[in-house]
Structure 1
Amino acid sequence: MCGICCVVSLSVHPPDGCFLKEDILCNLRRRGPNSSQQLIKTVPQLPYHCLFSGHVLHLRGQLTPQPVEDPTSGNVFLWNGEIFSGVPVTAEENDTQIIFRQLCTCRRESDVLSVFSSIQGPWSFVFYQASEHCLWFGRDFFGRRSLLWQFNKEADKVFVLSSVSAVSGNLWQEVPASGIFRLDLKACAASEAVTLTLYPWKYPSRQNATEKAVLGDLNMASKYSPSYVSLVVNDSHTLVAPVIPLNKETLNTQEESRLFDFTNNVADVEVLQMFLAKHHKKELVHQFIDVLSRAVERRVLCLAREAEMSGAAPRKPHVAVLFSGGIDSILIAALADRHVPSEEPIDLLNVAFKVTDKGRQSSSTKKKSKEQKPSPPSQGCFDDTGIVKCGSSSSFNVPDRITGKAGLEELKTVSPSRSWNFVEINVTLEELKAMRQQHISHLVYPLGTVLDDSIGCAVWFASRGEGLITSQGDIRPYKSVAKIVLTGIGADEQLAGYSRHRACFEKHGLEGLNEELEMELGRISSRNLGRDDRVIGDHGKEARFPFLDEEVVSFLNSLPIWEKANLTLRRGIGEKLLLRLAAAELGLTASSVLPKRAMQFGSRIAKMENSSEKASDKCTRLQSLPVE
């Protein structure tokens, strides 16, 4: 994980400190606490200048400060990514150096595209190719790493790329994850206009033909660009998508009813066992488990673990899971257990927002909450030894806390020797307001809906990892030091996990559902991933997404929809059916039949401030911040 930034000035004057304000530098440093440096490139007799700023979170190989410059060619590289496959990287090597060396050998546009077509893993980058006087930049196919752009229409035309912004009057937008962009600096400086060339993703060839991938939010990008900026799509060179297209095969109505009409009046767990009794289905489930397990393995082992002396203090955790106890998070935790060294703890980060008396009265889970054991109080209830002495409170007994604790017990059953740190992260309204003002708003930006606010705040507090753990009967304060945060995003989008998918299926059938799922994955970069990367990265941690591993996505894209989900079945079974079968096969019985519950409702953040808001409304709490 890194914070990267590039400021381009199409002027005879080089960019100075006023172009990269201290608040943006501070936010970049929070993402990359291990190394920070800057570099200014000037070209004699050409009216453009580039400032590069790199801030590194060291996770693997040798620490490589950024920006990286090649003294021979003058090329400069900023890289925020991880290579998990496609390009060989040994444990001792640093992927920044490997990709930069490859780029420095590129002579043609197709050479650059070939380098990025070969990478599997999340990335965003900026590459200055000195010989061509051009700037390349972009995000991976899914947009798993944030990259924003800003065009400044003031006296000197300035173009800025950055992993994160700050609260500002100038409009930032997310760079569309539609392909790779190229900016000819020499031509732009001469014409005093900016032309961005996009090389779009294309799916791997089928019968000697290529299929264009989804282009995403290019229209939105054009809308918010100043008049002197234009976008041109170049289809003459191929940037190969790292996944195959979605299988849109459907069944006719009779086949569909025969396939699914056998589950009435059967308990949920028994329905899953009926599916698993079929040889074809069980074999498919094992294939999926193997593919997802490899994806998790890559994400928990691709980091430096220091050698620890035997007999020393207990091993510290390097891996954490955003953990609600739901089907996505518990399956990731169970698979992480396969690959994380057995003596190393795994942190399960479980966030809850304080439920007021008014909120409890309006909650449909009021009765169920009262039946549960009370959750621990906030940190103000500790004595000098750090042990809780005062009475407990049910204020944080939200649905995700309840299912999280239940999920913890299931994990202890399937893996009793593992040390599981269940971190209870309790957030009050006062702390929520303070942290939104100080940190979270600029991380959510340029997104700004009520849903973005709720999820952004919940993920920020969860990934910070400050809370309470119970150890040998004592409740103690705890702060997770794990730099890797695994999250289950991508499961719902591919396996029909949202309620809107059921509504779409009921109205338009399997064909309509296929179209909806294709759209979901096509827009995940702009709706979710940039925001979540900025929010988690703010703690000097790296978000990793096993469900969006290229091998996992290609496997799921290869299957017809009825192998992945069955929305003729009731809620709690039909959505994400393949995932539920995998959980049941791994012994996670109770979790396998939990209905989908959105994070904003499960953590109860949606009940804290204005429960009458709609998710798609503009969030006034984000808009009320002061603007420079």
Structure 2
Amino acid sequence: MCGIFCCIHQAKNDSEPFTQWNICKDVIAARGPDHLTEKYISLSHHWHGYFAATVLWMQGPEIITQPSLDDNNNLLLWNGDIFSGCLAKDDVCDTNVILDELLSTTDIISVLCKIEGPYSLVYYQKSTNTLYFGRDIIGRHSLLLKIDSKANSLTLASVANKNMKGIVEVPAIGIFAMNLNSSRINLACYPWKEPDLRFTDVIETLETNLNVDINIRKTILDTNSSLTNLHLHPDPKDLEYLENIPDSINFNETLRYLLENREVNERVECLTQLLYQSVKVRVKKKPNYCKDCIKIVLNGESITCTHSKIGILFSGGLDSAILTAIADKYVPENETIDLINVAFERSVNNQKISHMNGEKENMMQKYDVPDRKTGRQTYSELLRICPNRKWNFIQCNITQMELQLYRASRICDLLHPLCTILDESLGCAMWFASRAKGILYPVDETYESPCRILLLGIGADELFGGYMRHRTILKHKGWDALVQELNIELARISERNLGRDDRIISDHGKQSRLPYLDENVVKYVQNIKPWERCYPTEKMPTGLGDKLLLRLLAYKIGFQSTANFPKRAFQFGSRIANSKENANNISDRL
């Protein structure tokens, strides 16, 4: 994980890059506490480039610094991980793999379409005098863009600051390019997929916000490799095995009954194998040091680290529970895994706290939010399923005073340019959770997780139909409408969640890894029929029909209560959000 910054400007505006860099240097440095390098390069007769990168060492036997220059003076700023595909290599830093691959061809786009894994990058190709930049097809890492027509400059950054006006998120719709042979700012876009109505809307909005025309070039991926597959309405025989479930049996008996169906069981097995592989590579691809021990190693000393290196944002819900049980298979038995559960102090009006209670009881009541209850319940199940592991269940209790302090002093900058009430509540919850500072349950010891990798369940609801609106859409509009909605939600997840969450979590010198959004998992799920992913009908109420395929997987690997927990939004489960506020309104607290 890295923090990357690039400012392309003209010689007459030599102060421009330093002005922009100084605004966001602090938040970019927090993303990569292990190393910082800056380079100032004359790119052409017209343009100069200021490139900076901060590095969080997450790959290879030694730290590789950036910006990276090759023998031909091509320059790379890379913030990503190659987890699978033909470019994936063990024990080699991806920065070197990508730089070598790009050096071997003049067709930059052909290399980028081979990358499987989350990334954002900036690449300057000397021979064509072209600057390329963009995010992966799912948009799992953040990249922000500002164009100043008056100063004739272009700025790119992983994260910015609310004082940086006019900056926007680079949409994850393709790879962008700027021709540096021209004396004016110009942009082209190589779309990931054949342009559709949504692509056109995104491009038009971007052109308006940046005040620049964008030329559309050749499509990068074939339509055949598109992550979209619509299915027609099912025949009655397609649903027989779902409709013929006896009415007299409970949720767990229903799951057991369905797993006796050979085709259902095969789908669960296939998904299980893909998720196991997805978690495995995300757990294993790292230096074997925690946040504290890696400082010792970077100082040239030798150490064996047995502290926690993997943390999981753990509401106790279905998505995080599955990741936890799978991670247990690939983390050495002598290492703890940190389960991070965040709760926000309930407002005084809602507290029923007695002066007769002890301090511990009052504390429990203050933070007795829904996610804390399900977290403890699932933690108990986990002790039964994985008895040989030492789990650290971290209760992160956040006071209203602390929330207000960090929201105003830090989180508002990390969220920028997003600013809705929903962004605020989710961003704050994610920031305090990823800080991972709290009290261990049940021993009541203070603890701050030293892990550098966080596994998140993001993407499960969009893939497996986990939201209440999916039930409503199916009821009123049918299966075609539901599968289109699922595809649209996955296409929009980069702008709704992923860029924001990447900026928030990385602020603690940690990296988020998202097993459900692995390309192989996404491709498999999008190519099975929608009623094989979920069945949110009257036959299967909430806690069963939504995310049915995932519930079957959870039950099969040993979860019972957890397999039937209904979906609960993070902002409400942690009690940070006020349900009376409109989530889409601009927040006046940022």
TM-score where L is the length of structure 2 = 0.92
The CA deviation at 1:306 is 4.8
SS where residue 328 of structure 2 aligns? helix
Q: What is aligned with 2:116? A: 120
Q: Percent identity?
A: 36
Q: What amino acid maps onto 2:173 in structure 1?
A: S
The match for 1:542 among 511, 515, 538 is: 511
Q: What is aligned with 2:404? A: 433
Q: What amino acid maps onto 1:233 in structure 2?
A: I
Say whether the 8 Å CA contact 2:2–2:32 is kept in structure 1. yes
The CA deviation at 1:217 is 2.5
Seen in structure 2, the aligned counterparts of structure 1 residues 555 and 25 have a Cα distance that, compared at 3 Å, is same
Asked if residue 513 in structure 1 is aligned to residue 482 in structure 2, the reply is yes
Asked if residue 393 in structure 1 is aligned to residue 364 in structure 2, the reply is yes
Asked if residue 220 in structure 1 is aligned to residue 196 in structure 2, the reply is no
SS where residue 73 of structure 1 aligns? coil
Q: What is aligned with 1:166? A: 161
SS where residue 518 of structure 1 aligns? helix
Asked if residue 143 in structure 1 is aligned to residue 147 in structure 2, the reply is no
Deviations along 1:588-622, whole A, 9 cap, x unmatched?
01100000000011000014xxx421111211112
Seen in structure 2, the aligned counterparts of structure 1 residues 249 and 319 have a Cα distance that, compared at 3 Å, is farther
Deviations along 1:554-583, whole A, 9 cap, x unmatched?
110110011100011101100000000000
Q: What is aligned with 2:536? A: 567
Q: What is aligned with 2:102? A: 103
Q: What is aligned with 1:347? A: 338
Q: What amino acid maps onto 1:171 in structure 2?
A: G
Q: What amino acid maps onto 1:117 in structure 2?
A: C
Distance, in Å, in 1 between the alignment partners of 2:171 and 2:134 is 8
The match for 1:199 among 170, 174, 190 is: 190
Distance, in Å, in 1 between the alignment partners of 2:410 and 2:81 is 25
Deviations along 1:131-173, whole A, 9 cap, x unmatched?
211100000011000000011233x211100000112151111
Deviations along 1:49-93, whole A, 9 cap, x unmatched?
1100100000111211110112x3121110000010124444431
Seen in structure 2, the aligned counterparts of structure 1 residues 168 and 222 have a Cα distance that, compared at 3 Å, is same
Say whether the 8 Å CA contact 1:152–1:170 is kept in structure 2. no
Asked if residue 614 in structure 1 is aligned to residue 585 in structure 2, the reply is no
1:155-554 equivalence runs, <5 A: 156-168=151-163, 170-187=165-182, 189=183, 192=184, 194-202=185-193, 215=199, 217-226=202-211, 229-235=212-218, 238=221, 244-252=227-235, 256=239, 259-306=242-289, 315-360=306-351, 392-470=363-441, 474-554=443-523
The CA deviation at 1:510 is 0.5
Distance, in Å, in 1 between the alignment partners of 2:342 and 2:358 is 12
Q: What is aligned with 1:37? A: 37
The CA deviation at 1:19 is 3.0
SS where residue 82 of structure 2 aligns? coil
Say whether the 8 Å CA contact 1:8–1:160 is kept in structure 2. yes
SS where residue 49 of structure 1 aligns? strand
Seen in structure 2, the aligned counterparts of structure 1 residues 57 and 306 have a Cα distance that, compared at 3 Å, is closer
Q: What amino acid maps onto 2:471 in structure 1?
A: R
Distance, in Å, in 2 between the alignment partners of 1:316 and 1:247 is 46
Distance, in Å, in 1 between the alignment partners of 2:338 and 2:134 is 32
Q: What is aligned with 1:207? A: none
Seen in structure 2, the aligned counterparts of structure 1 residues 255 and 240 have a Cα distance that, compared at 3 Å, is closer
Q: What is aligned with 1:599? A: 570
SS where residue 513 of structure 1 aligns? helix
| Structure 2: runs of 5 or more not aligned | 294-302
Q: What is aligned with 1:387? A: none
- Larger mean CA deviation between 273-282 and 18-27 belongs to 18-27
Seen in structure 2, the aligned counterparts of structure 1 residues 493 and 335 have a Cα distance that, compared at 3 Å, is same
Distance, in Å, in 2 between the alignment partners of 1:457 and 1:115 is 37
| Structure 1: runs of 5 or more not aligned | 203-209, 378-389, 623-628
Q: What amino acid maps onto 2:583 in structure 1?
A: A
Seen in structure 2, the aligned counterparts of structure 1 residues 201 and 219 have a Cα distance that, compared at 3 Å, is same
Distance, in Å, in 2 between the alignment partners of 1:461 and 1:490 is 21
The CA deviation at 1:266 is 2.7
SS where residue 102 of structure 2 aligns? helix
Distance, in Å, in 1 between the alignment partners of 2:25 and 2:544 is 47
Seen in structure 2, the aligned counterparts of structure 1 residues 211 and 19 have a Cα distance that, compared at 3 Å, is closer
Seen in structure 2, the aligned counterparts of structure 1 residues 495 and 376 have a Cα distance that, compared at 3 Å, is farther
Distance, in Å, in 2 between the alignment partners of 1:168 and 1:65 is 28
Say whether the 8 Å CA contact 1:329–1:487 is kept in structure 2. yes
Distance, in Å, in 2 between the alignment partners of 1:91 and 1:245 is 30
Say whether the 8 Å CA contact 1:38–1:52 is kept in structure 2. yes
- Larger mean CA deviation between 237-246 and 322-331 belongs to 237-246
Q: What is aligned with 2:299? A: none
Seen in structure 2, the aligned counterparts of structure 1 residues 497 and 246 have a Cα distance that, compared at 3 Å, is same
- Larger mean CA deviation between 350-359 and 552-561 belongs to 350-359
- Larger mean CA deviation between 392-401 and 176-185 belongs to 392-401
RMSD (Å) for aligned C-alpha atoms: 2.5
- Larger mean CA deviation between 98-107 and 9-18 belongs to 9-18
The CA deviation at 1:317 is 0.8
Distance, in Å, in 1 between the alignment partners of 2:304 and 2:113 is 44
Say whether the 8 Å CA contact 2:328–2:389 is kept in structure 1. yes
Q: What is aligned with 1:83? A: 82
Q: What is aligned with 1:5? A: 5
Q: What amino acid maps onto 2:191 in structure 1?
A: P
Seen in structure 2, the aligned counterparts of structure 1 residues 455 and 18 have a Cα distance that, compared at 3 Å, is same
Q: What is aligned with 1:206? A: none
Distance, in Å, in 1 between the alignment partners of 2:67 and 2:322 is 38
The CA deviation at 1:213 is 10
Q: How many residues align?
A: 573
The CA deviation at 1:551 is 0.7
